[in-house]
Amino acid sequence: AKGLGRARYCVFDPDLEARALARHQIEFDLRRALGLREFVLVYQPQNSTRDGRISGFEALLRWMQPVRGPISPAEFIPLAEEIGEIHAIGAWVIRSACFEAAGWADPTLTVAVNVSPVQFENDNIIQIVSAALKDSGLAASRLEIEVTEGVLLTESPEVLERLWSLNRMGVSIAMDDFGTGYASLSYLNSFPFSKIKIDKSFVQSEHSSRSQALISAILAIGTSLGVTTIAEGVETPDQFAAIRAIGCHSVQGYYISRPMPAEDVADYISRFDPE
Ligand code: C2E
Ligand code: CA
Ligand code: CA
Ligand code: CA
């Protein structure tokens, strides 16, 4: 037929080939990264908007890849989830964060840890958390697990039960990136969380009157459910002032501090959290 002669696919795309190779190499390196001790956690403070005091820190993962340099979790977490490495890496994150937080001078500070929905597909998550708490001596009330709406999209009763188990252990759960996922509001009924994290897309939006309205609405949801709210990605004095005026409980962002290496946390606490 007419035109068929042109309908040919390019089977060898050198770009595609290079990308496939690069992915293969990253995957290879990722499987070895934990054993080679290439992961570190950095910590970003969370502060009260009312008096500026530190209430805790969020632990954020960094892959210090010797050849390619530091790699962002946004880049390698999806791959780790895909190849199943997330279970081992995620367990290391929980354990390390508990041990590091147990050493902080102020025994009231919380540590927030990001846990992937994939980790909740495995029953081990409960043992991993309870062993980390027991071995580090960190009080369960000081550990906060940050999950995204993605954790509820499976609508799996097992996943929900695991969240409740953590809740019964005294671990708190924060809803990360609130309002950016695809879950419906009805999930808020069944799910034991005690904090809402307002995503930086709302905080940083150019259309400030609309985003102010959205932040106020999120805050109203939080207030009526009896949970606290924290705004993330606060970078400028104006954003901070707006967040405080709206009545958000806490803030996190470059305006307060960038994430810092674990070894700087003690010093930061002694300077900004005196007794
Ligand atoms: P997230 O949980 O929403 O974390 C907040 C991200 O915003 C972090 O990026 C943080 O460094 C960055 N950030 C903090 N303050 C500001 C600010 O004022 N402005 C801007 N523009 N950004 C700010 P990071 O560390 O690159 O992490 C990216 C994402 O990777 C995280 O988003 C989280 O979803 C994921 N992630 C990080 N650590 C872990 C981990 O240990 N496990 C899992 N499963 N995911 C992690
Ligand atoms: Ca987070
Ligand atoms: Ca977030
Ligand atoms: Ca995010």
Q: What are the backbone dihedrals phi and psi of residue 112, each rounded to the nearest 5 degrees, phi first?
A: -100, 135
pLDDT for position 16: 83
pLDDT at residue 207 is higher than 90: no
Quote the ligand 2 centre to 114 CA distance (angstroms).
Answer: 5
pLDDT for position 183: 78
pLDDT for position 228: 96
Q: Is the CB of 233 under 6 A from ligand 1?
A: yes
Using only the alpha carbons of the chain, give its radius of gyration: 21
Q: Is the CB of 119 under 6 A from ligand 1?
A: no
Per-residue DSSP letter, 227: -
Residue-wise pLDDT for 2-32, tens only, equals 445 555 555 667 788 888 888 899 999 999 9
pLDDT for position 9: 59
d(CA 21, CA 18): 5
Q: Is the CB of 46 under 6 A from ligand 1?
A: no
Q: Is the CB of 77 under 6 A from ligand 1?
A: yes
* Res. 274 pLDDT band, cuts 50 70 90: low
pLDDT for position 1: 46
What value does the mean pLDDT of the chain take?
92
pLDDT for position 2: 47
pLDDT for position 8: 57
pLDDT at residue 100 is higher than 50: yes
Task: Name the pTM for this structure.
Answer: 0.93
Joined tokens for residue 90: 């995620």
Quote the ligand 1 centre to 148 CA distance (angstroms).
Answer: 12
Length of the chain, please? 275
Tokens 């390619």 map to which residue? 68
d(CA 40, CA 44): 13
pLDDT for position 153: 84
Residue of 38, 93, 103, 111 lying closest to 69 (CA atoms)? 38
Q: Is the CB of 150 under 6 A from ligand 1?
A: no
Alpha helices, H only, the chain: 14-33, 73-83, 86-102, 124-136, 150-153, 157-169, 200-203, 208-225, 237-246, 262-272
d(CA 243, CA 216): 9
Quote the ligand 1 centre to 62 CA distance (angstroms).
Answer: 10
d(CA 102, CA 138): 5
Whose CA is closest to atom 11 on ligand 1?
259
Residue 29 has a CB neighbour count (10 Å cut-off) of 18
d(CA 40, CA 92): 10
CA of 91, nearest ligand number: 1
Residue-wise pLDDT for 169-190, tens only, equals 999 999 999 989 877 888 888 8
Quote the ligand 2 centre to 231 CA distance (angstroms).
Answer: 11
